[in-house]
């Protein structure tokens, strides 16, 4: 009888342990305080002070400012230009401070700082285990711009790819890296095509003046160019071009009027969005003409369309806190506006 009781007791204990184990598997430990939400990179004051990062929960109920400072008790650096991601890491790029803070993207605990080999860094793209960072170089020298190649396992810069003036945003289509050359403090009209297998520029593509944003849609690369502004004395019109990435040839060109300088191209499903003259415009990727009327009014610093919503930042007076407004694209109505940091220049989804 005692033997039977021991067997039953052992069986019950085993079930309890198994149940606890299953509970642990079904309810894993949270990744950190900043998972499942929106990160806003705030540039901060120009030439003084520091950039910051604001976290906003998915339901917009929680807004936490300066999360890097709160976690690490130090500043990011002057002018937080952008944020890039690789696995569970975020790369915070400070332009004027010439450095990158590498953090855990969910806890925001600092892992390391990359503070050599960068000169006026701008944007980050991860391809495999390599990170590509555009650099303006010395802004007084139009011939020293480059893309730094970072080994993401060691965070060492292993190579610089020399490119033409003013490299900015990057996109990857699964084969090549496309770099838009807006022109730094000047103007340019080139897209560099980099082969990540060789880390060399394989070709360049001429687009409209001052290409400011680009998105990949299958085999197509859409490039939005703002055109040269009037203060240059040689104002040119903006344009939207579609490039076939199988041969890197421009297949479609849609021109704006001379005084129209669009910005902030974004893609959500089969629709493109951009900002122009105090309005947000929407067009299908199959449209053959530019839209004539906007869907949302407002002067926005940055916009991103995602999953049927439009996220738009307002930099206000560029000296005090800005805001993020979320719109429902099925009705073009406002869902929520929250206060963020000074000059909110980037919108990222941390999932």
Q: Which domains are delineated in the chain?
A: 36-262+275-298+345-350 (2.130.10.10)
139 phi, psi to nearest 5 deg: -65, -15
Global pTM value:
0.91
| Residue 3 in this model has a pLDDT that exceeds 60 | no
The tens digit of pLDDT for each residue in 117-167 reads 999 999 999 999 999 999 999 999 999 999 999 999 999 999 999 999 999
The string of DSSP letters for 4-23 reads: HHHHHHHHHHHHHHHHHHHH
CA 344, CA 339: separation in Å to the nearest integer? 10
Structure tokens at 30: 């949270």
| Residue 112 in this model has a pLDDT that exceeds 90 | yes
Whether the CB-CB separation of 188 and 196 falls below 8 Å is answered with no
What percentage of the chain reaches a pLDDT higher than 70?
91
Whole-number pLDDT of residue 138? 96
Whole-number pLDDT of residue 30? 58
Q: CA quadruple 91, 120, 192, 205: dihedral positive or negative? A: positive
| Residue 24 in this model has a pLDDT that exceeds 90 | no
The tens digit of pLDDT for each residue in 32-70 reads 999 999 999 999 999 889 999 999 999 999 999 999 999
| Residue 83 in this model has a pLDDT that exceeds 80 | yes
Instruction: Give 239's strand partners.
Output: 225, 255
Give mean pLDDT, residues 209-230.
97
CA atoms within 13 A on the CB side of 350: 30
């Amino acid at each position: 009888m005692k033997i039977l009781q021991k067997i039953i007791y052992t069986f019950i204990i085993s079930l309890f342990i198994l149940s606890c184990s299953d509970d642990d598997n079904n309810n894993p430990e949270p990744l950190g305080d900043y998972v499942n939400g929106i990160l806003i990179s705030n540039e901060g004051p120009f030439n003084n002070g520091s950039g910051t990062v604001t976290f906003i929960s998915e339901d917009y109920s929680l807004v936490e400012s300066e999360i890097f400072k709160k976690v690490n008790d130090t500043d990011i650096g002057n002018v937080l230009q952008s944020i890039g991601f690789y696995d569970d890491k975020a790369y915070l790029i400070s332009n004027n401070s010439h450095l990158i803070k590498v953090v855990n993207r969910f806890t925001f605990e600092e892992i390391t700082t990359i503070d050599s080999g960068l000169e006026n860094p701008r944007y980050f793209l991860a391809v495999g285990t390599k990170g590509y960072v555009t650099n303006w170089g010395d802004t007084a020298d139009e011939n020293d711009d480059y893309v730094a190649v970072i080994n993401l396992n060691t965070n060492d810069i292993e190579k610089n790819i020399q490119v033409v003036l003013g490299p900015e945003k990057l996109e990857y289509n699964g084969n090549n890296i496309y770099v838009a050359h807006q022109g730094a403090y000047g103007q340019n009209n080139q897209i560099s095509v980099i082969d990540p297998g060789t880390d060399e520029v394989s070709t360049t593509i001429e687009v409209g003046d001052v290409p400011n944003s680009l998105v990949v849609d299958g085999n197509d690369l859409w490039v939005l160019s703002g055109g040269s502004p009037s203060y240059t004395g040689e104002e040119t019109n903006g344009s939207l071009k579609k490039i076939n990435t199988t041969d890197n040839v421009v297949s479609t060109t849609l021109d704006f009027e001379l005084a129209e300088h669009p910005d902030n191209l974004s893609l959500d499903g089969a629709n493109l969005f951009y900002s122009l003259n105090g309005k947000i415009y929407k067009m299908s990727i199959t449209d053959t003409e530019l839209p004539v009327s906007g869907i949302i009014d407002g002067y926005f610093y940055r916009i991103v369309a995602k999953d049927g919503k439009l996220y738009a930042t307002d930099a206000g007076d560029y000296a005090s806190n800005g805001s993020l407004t979320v719109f429902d694209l099925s009705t073009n109505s406002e869902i929520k506006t929250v206060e963020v940091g000074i000059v909110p220049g980037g919108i990222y989804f941390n999932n």
